[in-house]
Amino acid sequence: MSAFFLPNRLFIKLLLGFWLCSSLIIACVGVLPLLQQLHQNFDVPDPIKYEVYSYAEQLKDHPERLTQRFDPYPINDKFRRKFRQELDGIMPAEAPRDDGLTPPPDDHEKFKPIPFYIFVLDSNAQVLNAPEASQGLQHILRDAKKLDQPQSFRHKSEVFFGPVKVSLASGDYSLYGALHLPRHIPWFFFFIEHKLLTLALAIITSGILCAVLAWHLGKPLHSLQQGANALARGDLNSRVSDATANRHDELGDLAKAFNLMADAVEQMVKSQQRLIGDISHELRTPLTRLQLALALARKKGSAIEETERIAYEADQLEQMIAELLELSRVKLKHQDSKINLPLEELLSQVLDDGEFEASQQGKQLCIDIPEELECAVYPKPLSRAIENLLRNAIRYSHNTINIRARLQQQEVNIVIDDDGNGIEEQELEAIFKPFYRPESARDRESGGWGLGLAITEAAITAHRGRIIARNKPEGGLEVSLWLPIS
């Protein structure tokens, strides 16, 4: 029951990862309108409001000024200082200029003059004291039509205050004060004004965050896949990296379990191969005694037909035990360190023997191996592997056998093919198993015991290479093997 209530650690990572990712994107996008609203909540300074109300009173006494362009009212020093204090932090400071609006030098104040206008609109929202309404005024008029009380509005670099209602004999009018301020646009306004770009950035950001999470989860899975594939190919030393095994989640537990399983498989296989080697070695003692007894019987002149048969079977048993010992040695990797050798030099004796054997059977062996091609190899196991493949090809071919080698990226590709009958498709993978012989080999007198290709496959695996057999479309068997250069 306790396991039921324990949260799954990988589940928690997935949940928190995608939840935080989506929440972060939603929060960033959702907070933009709030930031915009906070930035636009700007209250026009009281001196500007005073100017608008004062101008409204003036229009009651001088209605002829309705259509006159607004001329800012002169501001005295006391009023100017108050005006400057209310705008402190809004306008950037500037060196004093002799423009009639800056304080005297002894005040040690820096004040930049601010353009200020008052627009008079009739009941049809037509501007009377200016050629036309500014874009900012046209924009805020849509929001101010239904207002009864004056409010502050902001549009880009303009701040408005209104509407201040004025009733005259000629009709009802509305006044709007307009203050031009330098537009210090916050960085987030860029995203508000470019919605498609903001959406694209949100998609890209979420993609990056999800990619990081996917990499965090996919990397150990890839490591596990590589380890499993290597183990399946016969690399018993394959293990998952410590970085994956030390993770504190289910993937780390899985990696540890995989490494434990690989240790057990390696020990089991090595024990099995060691047992085969030990048994084969022990069988040689009674076999040697048997052969010695046969030799003594021949020397005494008591050899009969049955004795010759026993001698033949003893020789066959000797060869089988030798094959088993070789297979055990190759699989247990009881060989010297790899050395770099030219491939042609390494296989020279094997190729000479192959040419001789093929010529004795009236067949031709074609060799195409560049002299400069070399790689790191275990000389004896690789020579034995190529020899086994060549002998099989010579044995089952009709006329021609080919062996060629090429460098492909960081691997040496060796191909041996013949023009024989090939083998059944379902047997192509099984021929590399110990003691397996296809039907075509069982029908021949020299079919062997099915250990030659098993030794070949074990030798290629010891080189961390791979081997594949296939039937050629035009007939015959082709065996390709790849060996790493280093």
DSSP assignment string, 295-360 = HHHHHTT---HHHHHHHHHHHHHHHHHHHHHHHHHHHTT-S---EEEEHHHHTHHHHHHHHHHHHH
d(CA 212, CA 438): 51
Q: What is the CATH number of domain 46-190?
A: 3.30.450
Above 90 in pLDDT, residue 162? no
Domain boundaries, the chain: 46-190, 250-331, 339-484
Which range of 112-121, 129-138, 396-405 scores highest in mean pLDDT? It is 396-405
Question: How sure is the predictor about 36, in pLDDT bands with cuts at 50, 70 and 90?
Answer: low
Least confidently predicted of 88-97, 130-139, 219-228, 383-392: 88-97
Above 80 in pLDDT, residue 73? no
Q: What percent of the chain has pLDDT over 70?
A: 73
d(CA 169, CA 215): 77
Query: What pLDDT score was predicted for residue 113?
Result: 53
d(CA 207, CA 205): 5
Above 90 in pLDDT, residue 109? no
Above 80 in pLDDT, residue 99? no
The more confidently predicted of residues 55 and 144 is 55
Query: What pLDDT score was predicted for residue 366?
Result: 92
**Is 184 a known active-site residue?**
no
The more confidently predicted of residues 7 and 52 is 52
The more confidently predicted of residues 425 and 16 is 425
Above 50 in pLDDT, residue 79? no
Query: What pLDDT score was predicted for residue 402?
Result: 93
Residues 6+ apart with CB under 8 A from 308: none
Match 């021929």 to its residue by tokens.
431
Q: Give the mean model confidence (pLDDT) for residues 229-253.
A: 81
Above 80 in pLDDT, residue 347? yes
Above 90 in pLDDT, residue 177? no
Pick 339-484's CATH classification: 3.20.20.105, 3.30.565.10, 1.20.1630.10, 3.10.130.10.
Answer: 3.30.565.10
Q: Give the mean model confidence (pLDDT) for residues 103-121.
A: 59
Q: Quote the pTM value.
A: 0.46
d(CA 250, CA 247): 8
Angle, helix 250-299 to helix 9-40, in steps of 10 degrees: 150
Question: How sure is the predictor about 182, in pLDDT bands with cuts at 50, 70 and 90?
Answer: low
The more confidently predicted of residues 179 and 364 is 364
The more confidently predicted of residues 162 and 88 is 162
Above 60 in pLDDT, residue 44? yes
d(CA 394, CA 218): 48
d(CA 53, CA 37): 27
d(CA 380, CA 333): 12
Question: Which helix (DSSP H) or strand (DSSP E) does residue 477 occupy?
Answer: strand 477-484
Least confidently predicted of 105-119, 334-348, 417-431: 105-119
Question: How sure is the predictor about 71, in pLDDT bands with cuts at 50, 70 and 90?
Answer: low
Q: Which of 281, 334, 398, 463 is catalytic?
A: 281
Question: How sure is the predictor about 114, in pLDDT bands with cuts at 50, 70 and 90?
Answer: low
Pick 250-331's CATH classification: 3.30.70.270, 1.10.287.130, 3.40.640.10, 2.30.30.230.
Answer: 1.10.287.130
Residue ranges with strand state E in 148-246: 151-155, 158-168, 171-180
> Is 346:379 a contact under the CB 8 Å cutoff?
yes
The two structure tokens encoding residue 236: 């018993």
